[in-house]
Structure 1
């Protein structure tokens, strides 16, 4: 009967495979320990000269969410001129503004959007700062003094796709580009090899607002894309 411990020289096949397995394990362990050592090393040149107050960032971005004029940016003139055309209001000059040449239409022809639609909700000044907050969110008003509201942003888009620029810095017509989270992961790496550095809650609609492109690593590689986490009741 042939022995199950047939040898090649003085080393059995079983011993040979065991030794190889231990060797590869040692290589992997060495690489992991090396990365841990790099992570514990001194801060690189160019670090801030002060201790940052923020250690983590949770960015809640509602793709296709509530309109700014019915959330934190009231425009009372919408109610005053509701139902009229823009050309019949004191703001008719916007129709011939030089900025119109920069408008990049994504879905809807702006020529079809000349009738003013009034606000569908009221506003109220809230907190000690007196910042106007929509009546959609009365509870947000309780903490409005801790919220920074930016009302100076403008865009050349006439559609939700303008939101894509917040994630990539590029227009959706410019093609696929890495999202902000992908750049952070690419430039700084991960603090923990066992946990994702860049995650996204839920799944944005693929045909709106940049879709999954707003979470993509694009040409940096899929390893830098956001790890999607399901938020529904079923896993």
Structure 2
């Protein structure tokens, strides 16, 4: 037999599929690198949106550790009246809590630490722990009927950010990057920044799964910016390497990768090529982004004194505004320190000090710049905290609250959400939802709707099944739409 024919018969399975996928790979590369790939925002939205979007971008102020809803935004006078009393058994039926809670017969109700007052024309109730947020309540939509099934942090955070309690699914920002594309070729579509209150005893670990692209192509994964003058590792050229030499090197690497892509059509090779190019462009765009010296004193003052410290929540809020201003689609700020099992009387105050003014300042800043109308801002944690005490009622310095998934509060602003309203209700002690429940899948469906995406149609086929952010659940909460 002719050796050339024999070679064709002996071709292996991996080589066959690699060769047959060449067309796909070339198409993927063209979509990533072609001049038309980074189309205008209007063309991208027109191509993938299912209806007219109200929001173009999202800033998610995620509060790791779970803020206490009954301490901050869900005013319950009855809870103050019942301070120190046992939890009525009727509230506890069928409920489970973390293993840190006391036995059911020893759980005592705990009054909010500080007084609530009504604010703004909307008359929203806000604790004195959040004086700056109280000033912008007429721009906010409080959702007081959130609920989830998860009672521990990592599964609950994964659930809130990916629609599934286990790591491995694409997160919200990745779905939006996949579905809506980029608005700025020089910056990532999905950016993550983390912060933690200093000297806290209740920080949470920031797992990479919280900004993972899961089974979506890895170019949709969140890019984490570090604190300081070098937000991205290895972004600067090494000594002795100038921009011209770096460009020649990348061109050479790109040719090698393109040859491999032509052979095998692996979309991850296309991603690698695109990410090299993104890194090259970010050498200019990221230093400019991180340089806040051009911001006015009035703007810096909005975010509070910590805005001058890289890595703080305040600085990250300012950078979030700068990112969306430059076309980043989804900015996820994660601030840890809310897990107050036995430090409510001290660390809750620190958390509010570090997050209250920057959050409110961000709303004001976006509004002043005309960005709030089409920027959706979300504030909240993975669940709430129990109306009952964790600890000894006689030992106030060690008071705390356990995890509480059955009713909690988030707020939203801008991006097509009705301002100055409170939606949903919990019962008289903030234990269970009693009106207009909103599940996490409903929350995701609503978020996508605001961005012009039908949550049932944004899917990705993986291992033989079409997956979506809301799995097989979710309803748009139409009553909060402007």
- Measure, in 1, the Cα distance between the counterparts of 2:146 and 2:43: 40
User: Paired residues, what number?
Assistant: 194
Q: 1:152 aligns with which of 145, 148, 170?
A: 145
- Measure, in 2, the Cα distance between the counterparts of 1:73 and 1:159: 22
Partner SS state of residue 35, structure 1: coil
Q: 2:219 aligns with which of 219, 223, 226?
A: 223
- Measure, in 2, the Cα distance between the counterparts of 1:84 and 1:122: 19
1:117-143 deviations in whole A, cap 9, x for unaligned? 221111101111111001011222222
Give matches, 1:202-217, under 5 Å. 202=194, 208=204, 211-217=207-213
Partner SS state of residue 152, structure 1: strand
- Measure, in 2, the Cα distance between the counterparts of 1:40 and 1:128: 36
1:106: Cα distance to partner? 5.5
Which residue is 2:126 aligned to?
133
Which residue is 1:143 aligned to?
136
When the two structures are superposed, what TM-score results if normalisation uses the length of structure 2?
A: 0.35
When the two structures are superposed, what TM-score results if normalisation uses the length of structure 1?
A: 0.67
Q: Residues 218 and 47 of structure 1: is their aligned pair in 2 closer, same or farther, counting only changes over 3 Å?
A: closer
1:62: Cα distance to partner? 1.7
Which residue is 1:16 aligned to?
none
- Measure, in 1, the Cα distance between the counterparts of 2:196 and 2:207: 5
- Measure, in 2, the Cα distance between the counterparts of 1:133 and 1:150: 13
2:44 is equivalent to residue 44 of structure 1 = no
2:171 is equivalent to residue 179 of structure 1 = yes
1:196: Cα distance to partner? 0.3
Aligned residues of 2:83 and 2:109 also touching (Cα < 8 A): yes
Q: Residues 209 and 221 of structure 1: is their aligned pair in 2 closer, same or farther, counting only changes over 3 Å?
A: farther
Which residue is 1:95 aligned to?
92
Partner SS state of residue 185, structure 1: helix
Q: Residues 33 and 109 of structure 1: is their aligned pair in 2 closer, same or farther, counting only changes over 3 Å?
A: same
Q: 1:32 aligns with which of 34, 38, 52?
A: 34
- Measure, in 1, the Cα distance between the counterparts of 2:142 and 2:121: 14
Q: 1:165 aligns with which of 159, 162, 166?
A: 159
1:48-74 deviations in whole A, cap 9, x for unaligned? 2x4x34322222222225311111112
Q: Residues 163 and 116 of structure 1: is their aligned pair in 2 closer, same or farther, counting only changes over 3 Å?
A: farther
Partner SS state of residue 57, structure 1: strand
- Measure, in 2, the Cα distance between the counterparts of 1:155 and 1:209: 20
1:213: Cα distance to partner? 2.3
Aligned residues of 1:126 and 1:132 also touching (Cα < 8 A): yes
2:119 is equivalent to residue 118 of structure 1 = no
Structure showing greater Rg: 1
Return the structure number with greater relative CO, CA threshold 8 A, min gap 6: 2
Q: Residues 80 and 211 of structure 1: is their aligned pair in 2 closer, same or farther, counting only changes over 3 Å?
A: farther
Displacement over 6 Å in runs of 4+ = none
Higher strand proportion, which one?
A: 2
1:78: Cα distance to partner? 2.6
Aligned residues of 2:48 and 2:179 also touching (Cα < 8 A): no
- Measure, in 2, the Cα distance between the counterparts of 1:209 and 1:106: 18
- Measure, in 2, the Cα distance between the counterparts of 1:225 and 1:204: 22
1:97-155 deviations in whole A, cap 9, x for unaligned? 4xx3xx4x555357467232221111101111111001011222222111101111123
C-alpha RMSD over aligned residues? 3.4
In structure 2, the gaps of 5 or more residues are 1-28, 198-202, 229-308, 312-482
Aligned residues of 1:123 and 1:133 also touching (Cα < 8 A): yes
